[in-house]
Amino acid sequence: DAKTTQPPSMDCAEGRAANLPCNHSTISGNEYVYWYRQIHSQGPQYIIHGLKNNETNEMASLIITEDRKSSTLILPHATLRDTAVYYCIAPSTGGFKTIFGAGTRLFVKA
Amino acid sequence: EAQVTQNPRYLITVTGKKLTVTCSQNMNHEYMSWYRQDPGLGLRQIYYSMNVEVTDKGDVPEGYKVSRKEKRNFPLILESPSPNQTSLYFCASSSGTEVYEQYFGPGTRLTVT
């Protein structure tokens, strides 16, 4: 797996966009970037993934830099319910282990 | 409703008393996995299974056993639990073509005294 680095915590005002960065400078050409979040002690929830193009779904947008060394998860209008730990992972292709790092704890404030 | 279920959700037991935590999914997923989550150590993978009768070790397999006799079920077995296995356990499943789009269960909080 490519090593991923995320800030330990971030704050965001309710209604504003939350931009969560992830560095994955050792990612190889065919490794995807996946994002999950975990609200309190619930099971993690898959959000989105991408390879090199920007991706958007009903939950979030994923922007991957052209060199693929970093990405940003965007929650366009953060709500209090988006307060959670967000994990960025870049698993190796051909393997089936999943390694989660420490993630970013996002606090959305009213 | 597509879901991963775990039982029990909470368990307090004593050292050495064998226990099984069950995990079941109704999505016909090939891939299933167990994780434990501890404060300061994050989510760590214990075992995973690519399909029936195919299992492999994750990062922290010591002290655990698994079996995959049916596609929908992936029980986690602690033959002789110890206090250092006190943790929050999650089961997850995904399709064989999208292994990393995992659906997680609600968690099992285990305390070993």
Identity of the amino acid at A105: R
What's residue A77's pLDDT? 95
Least confident range of A3-12, A49-58, A90-99: A90-99
Q: Which residues of B touch A32 (CB under 8 A)?
A: 100
B88 reaches A (C-beta below 8 A): yes
pLDDT mean across residues, chain A: 92
Residue A72 to residue A88: CA distance in whole angstroms: 9
User: Helices (H), strands (E): how many in chain B?
Assistant: 0, 11
pLDDT exceeds cutoff 90 at A6? yes
Q: In angstroms, how far is CA B75 from the centroid of its own chain?
A: 7
Give the side-chain half-sphere CA count within 13 A for B74.
33
Nearest by CB to residue A41, choosing from B42, B88, B101, is B88
pLDDT digits (tens, 9 = 90+) for A17-68: 999 999 998 888 888 999 999 999 899 999 999 998 899 999 999 999 999 9
What's residue A84's pLDDT? 97
DSSP state at residue B54: E
Closest chain A CA to residue B40: A102
Contact A89 B56 (CB under 8 A): no
What's residue A28's pLDDT? 84
pLDDT exceeds cutoff 80 at A93? no
DSSP string, A35-58: EEEE-TTSPPEEEEEESSS-EE-S
What's residue B1's pLDDT? 87
Terminus-to-terminus CA distance in chain A, angstroms?
Answer: 37
Which residues of chain B are modeled with pLDDT < 50? none
SS3 content of chain B, % helix, strand, coil (to 5): 5, 50, 45
A89 reaches B (C-beta below 8 A): yes
Contact A99 B59 (CB under 8 A): yes
- Paired with B51 in beta bridges are B54
Q: Is the dihedral of CA A95, A9, A48, B50 positive or negative?
A: positive
Residue A101, both tokens: 């790092």
Residue A59 to residue A73: CA distance in whole angstroms: 10
